[in-house]
Amino acid sequence: LKEENARHLWHPMGHPGALRETPPRIIRSAQGVSITDQEGHSAVDAVGGLWCVNLGYSNQKVKDAIAAQLQDLPYYSAFAGTTNPSAIEASHAVCEFFAEDGMARAFFTSGGSDSVDTALRLARQYHRLNGAPQRTKFLSLKKGYHGTHWGGASVNGNNRFRIGYEPLLPGCFHLPSPYTYRNPFDETDPATLAQKIAAAMEDEIAFQGAETIAAFIMEPIQGAGGVIVPDASFMKLMREICDRHGILLISDEVITGFGRTGHWSGARHWGVKPDMMTTAKGITSGYYPVGATLVSDKVAEVFEGAGAEGAIWHGYTYSAHPVGAAAVVATLEETLRLDLASNAAARGDQLFKGLQALAERHEIIGDIRGGHGLMAGLEIVSDRGSKTAMDAAGMARIHAATYEAGAMVRLGMHNILMSPPLVITEAEIDTILTALDTGLAAA
Ligand code: PMP
């Protein structure tokens, strides 16, 4: 299998530097919150697939819903002049799920990158239909991650995800992230940093001209950028600035939606109502590839009111795929029935406290991230004083030794990231912490 894998299955662009030299592990099966590889070694999946398997791997209701839908209607377009019961039910379920966030319509996609590009395209259409076609630019944050399609790649803040694909979409500007450990202001107080970023955003808007900006996109807690938790004031400040200048606020909830932060959405966590939300991952817990871009009444009305005939085509063959839609309905029912947000909050606290305890023993932990549900991270350094980032070999050693000791964690460039299934138990969190202890000692 390893030889076959090397022959045709392409991985090299999917690995951080540290993993490039190691052949990928072949994961054969998964049960509960654990995965088993081809050699028969099992580990608690502290990554939750890829921040997505909120329900764990054994949810029979979701599996049954998918199987039943395959029997009734395996595919029909729910988009170009036709619809189907499964798609209708899923749209109700997801809009109800985010009703408190002000979301009124769901546009289904096949994943997070699709959802982000849909939101960016709809933002430009919204302004065009609203008589402001010059509003085409986008603002985002430096450590933000919004996918790999052209729009998402253009608003991605991290150069690592951009360089080599340029020229990207013109008119995208990246503001500093609320990242207290390292930032251009050398500001360590989270509330002051939030104010400084808000001031930088006002400057950028004044420079660009508010009347040229379509939308600002942000993750309520940045995931792939290293689990960057902003100050509680941050997203509200961003909302105020957007309101002041007629800029749409897109909350990228691909990771934070559906309970991961301990609240049903990341925006709700910070007490903010966005104009649009982009979702994927937890919407089906990884059982089927689905995403959804949600919009508020304010946005929907522009597309549905007078002048809406001017709206220009956007959609996918698999928008509201009936089998995916059935997976959405079952996943959301299970997410609510099991009250995953509460478990995420409780187990997230346990994980964060455990990481703080590890930092007392392991000098290579430079910074601990998390404390808001089941998103956590460690920034690894070779020297705490100078904050020198750990080298790739050291990172690879931590990753491998943690896995051998019983937990799969995610390797960022200089971060160890965790986003376990939201059904995880206290004992399973302890397993992750014990395995990490061993992994950190190995470096
Ligand atoms: N937005 C965010 C916040 C994400 O974390 C991701 C994926 N990690 C995406 C968008 C892109 O999603 P996908 O990989 O499903 O295209």
Is the pTM value of this prediction over 0.95?
yes
CA 254 / ligand 1 centre spacing (Å): 6
Average pLDDT of 289-307? Answer: 92
- Between the CA of 54 and the centroid of ligand 1 the distance, in Å, is 15
Arch. (CATH architecture) of 2-55+339-442: Alpha-Beta Complex (3.90)
A 10 A CB-CB count for 353 gives 15
**Tell me: the pLDDT tens digits for 53-91?**
999 999 999 999 999 999 999 999 998 889 999 999 999
Q: Lowest-confidence range among 16-30, 276-290, 326-340, 354-368?
A: 16-30
| Spatial contact of 105 and 295, defined as CB atoms under 8 Å apart | yes
Does 116 sit in the ligand 1 pocket, CB within 6 Å? Answer: yes
Pocket-testing residue among 114, 281, 415, ligand 1, by greatest number of atoms within 8 A of Cβ? 281
54, 145, 158, 419: which to mutate for ligand 1, most atoms within 8 A of CB?
145
Closest atom of ligand 1 to CA, residue 253:
3
pLDDT confidence of residue 18:
61
Regarding the beta carbon of 410 and ligand 1, being less than 6 Å apart is answered no
Assess contact for 225 and 246: CB atoms under 8 A.
no
| Per-residue pLDDT tens over the stretch 149-186 | 999 999 999 888 888 899 999 999 999 999 999 999 99
pLDDT in tens, 305-351: 777 777 888 999 999 999 999 999 999 999 999 999 999 999 999 99
Check residue 315 and give left, alpha or beta (phi > 0: left; psi -120 to 50: alpha).
left
> What are the residue boundaries of the structural domains of the chain, listed by start?
2-55+339-442, 62-335
What is the token pair recorded at 383? 């020297």
Per-residue pLDDT at 378: 98
| C-beta 250 within 6 A of ligand 1 | no
Mean pLDDT check: name the lowest of 260-264, 397-401, 411-415.
411-415
Q: Is 198 in the pocket of ligand 1 (CB under 6 A)?
A: no
Atom of ligand 1 nearest to the CA of 51: 8
Q: Can you tell me the mean pLDDT for 376-380?
A: 98
Q: Is 16 left (phi over 0), alpha (psi -120 to 50) or beta?
A: beta
Please determine, for the modelled complex, whether the ipTM score is greater than 0.85.
yes
113 Cα to the center of ligand 1, angstroms: 6
Two tokens, residue 94: 């997801």
- CATH architecture classification, 62-335: 3-Layer(aba) Sandwich (3.40)
Share of the chain above pLDDT 70, in %: 98
- Using a 10 angstrom Cβ sphere, with 0-12 exposed, 13-18 middle and 19 or more buried, the burial of residue 193 is buried
Q: Name the closest-CA residue to atom 15, ligand 1.
A: 112
Q: What spacing in Å lies between the alpha carbon of 80 and ligand 1's midpoint?
A: 26
Length of the chain: 443
Asked whether residue 12 carries a pLDDT value surpassing 80, the answer given is: no
Decide whether any atom of ligand 1 lies within 6 Å of the 375 Cβ. Answer: no
Res 9: pLDDT:
86
